[in-house]
Amino acid sequence: MCTIKRRLTLREVARQADVSVATVSRVLNGSDKVVPETRDRIQAMIEQLGYLPNPAARTLNSGRTMTVGAIVPTLYHSIFAKFLHGLEKRLSEQGFSLVVSTSDWDQEIEATKARHMLAMGAEALVVSGVDHSPNFTSLVRRYKVPIVQTSYFAPNSEFATIGYDNAKAARTALKYLVGLGHKRISVLHGPEANNDRVSARLQGLRSYGKDVQLDFVETTLDIPGGRNGASTVLSKKAMPSAILCLSDLLAVGALFESQSKGIIIPTELSIMGFENLQIGAVTSPPLTTMSLGVEKMATQTAAALCAHLSENKDISEYEVVGDVIVRGSTARKTKLI
């Protein structure tokens, strides 16, 4: 037979320490109105009894949950895991907890997840991108909850953005390849639907305005998608001298597919990634990539939220500036394929 252990109450701690419930509560809340001797006795009794404060009761008393909600498109993509790891670490250092959910790239699911998080008491929300459903927008307006939009920098957006200029980052990557002499470049990218980050990157590439011929291939946002996209590119009569992949996952797949066809990287074909995921540093050859500064984005997001929630400071816009990380998968163009 299973016996349910009764939760130790604040009243029991007070009785054992021979003080009032109010005095124990003051100690737990960090009040300086309790004399040191009494504080030490209460803290010793809390440790001896193994008392854990009831979070629901604490929320009722303080009106605070100290919880931030984050909704990302997926956890399969390590760029989101990297961001959430940094965000949780920084928030935790300031006493906040992070609750995470996924939208599967669906704006209506994002709105539903946001509603659930706000109902459970999330004091702020972190989301990806700036395109959201009308249901999401009306919900956060009604709750008047602070919102930080990440992975995108758009100073004129209704809600604060802390992230990178996707169009500018894409142009920076393209400029690097053009600087190596590549004029015919294929671009592999994930689905554009419901992904304003991809749309902005493509817009940035299309507006490059220099003497370069671009061929765009949409595929699934994973390593098999990179292989399939590269297979499409390499089967064309007019092959490129470089492939720019708007994700390192696509670049890894493109690298594998090209090597399986006997193409020497980067002598015969340059391949460049995007996002600077860990896997890109250990491929053979290692991937040249466009770093987006995800760790900095996480740090700035956490700092802005903590300052707002603890000190009522305005959430400031912040542009994270990335750079090209040159490795062995790209080289100066020396001959036509």
| 266-282 pLDDT, tens digit each | 999 999 999 999 999 99
Residue 52 has pLDDT above 80, yes or no: no
Residue 206 has a pLDDT of: 94
- At 337, is the pLDDT very low, low, confident or very high (cuts 50, 70, 90)? very low
Q: Is the pLDDT of residue 3 over 50?
A: no
HSE at residue 162, side-chain half, CA atoms within 13 A, is 21
SS3 at position 204: helix
Q: Give me the mean pLDDT over the 283-289 stretch.
A: 97
Question: 67-164+294-321 and 166-292 share one CATH topology?
Answer: yes
Using CA atoms, how far apart are residues 79 and 247, in angstroms rounded to an integer?
10
Per-residue pLDDT band at 1 (split at 50, 70, 90): very low
Q: Which of 229, 233, 177, 225 is nearest to 205 (CA)?
A: 177
Residue 56 has pLDDT above 60, yes or no: no
DSSP state of 334: -
Q: What is the mean pLDDT of residues 184-210?
A: 93
Q: In this predicted structure, what is the pLDDT of residue 174?
A: 97
Q: Which contiguous run of DSSP H or E holds residue 295?
A: helix 294-311
Average pLDDT of 201-226?
A: 93
pLDDT at 288 over 80: yes
Percent of the chain with pLDDT over 90: 70
Q: Which residues of 56-72 are buried (b: 16+ CB within 10 A; e: fewer)?
A: eebeeeeeebbbbbbbb
Domain ranges for the chain, please list them: 67-164+294-321, 166-292
pLDDT at 64: 72
pLDDT of 59 higher than 90: no
The confidence score (pLDDT) of residue 119 equals 85
Strands (DSSP E) contained in the chain are 67-72, 97-102, 124-128, 147-150, 160-163, 184-189, 213-218, 242-245, 270-272, 289-291, 318-319, 323-325
Mean pLDDT of 26-40: 83
Structure tokens, 178: 């053009």
Identify the band that residue 57 occupies on the pLDDT scale cut at 50, 70 and 90: low
Between residues 8 and 305, the one the model is more confident about: 305
**Which pLDDT value is given to residue 2?**
45
191 - beta bridge partners?
Answer: none
CATH number of the domain at 67-164+294-321, out of 1.20.930.40, 3.30.300.130, 3.30.70.260, 3.40.50.2300?
Answer: 3.40.50.2300
Banded pLDDT at 97 (limits 50, 70, 90): very high
Q: Looking at residues 232-241, what average pLDDT do you find?
A: 92
- State the average pLDDT over residues 304-320: 93
Tokens, residue 224: 């098999």
Which homologous superfamily does the CATH classification assign to the domain defined by 166-292? Response regulator (3.40.50.2300)
Confidence grade of residue 99 (pLDDT, cut at 50, 70, 90) = very high
Q: How confident is the model at residue 199 (pLDDT cuts 50, 70, 90)?
A: very high
Per-residue model confidence (pLDDT) at position 11: 82
Lowest mean pLDDT segment, chosen from 2-16, 205-219, 264-278: 2-16
Task: Report pLDDT for 53.
Answer: 64
User: What is the pTM assigned to this prediction?
Assistant: 0.79
- The per-residue pLDDT for 58 is 54
Q: Say which range, 42-51, 101-110, 139-148, 153-162, has the weakest mean pLDDT.
A: 42-51
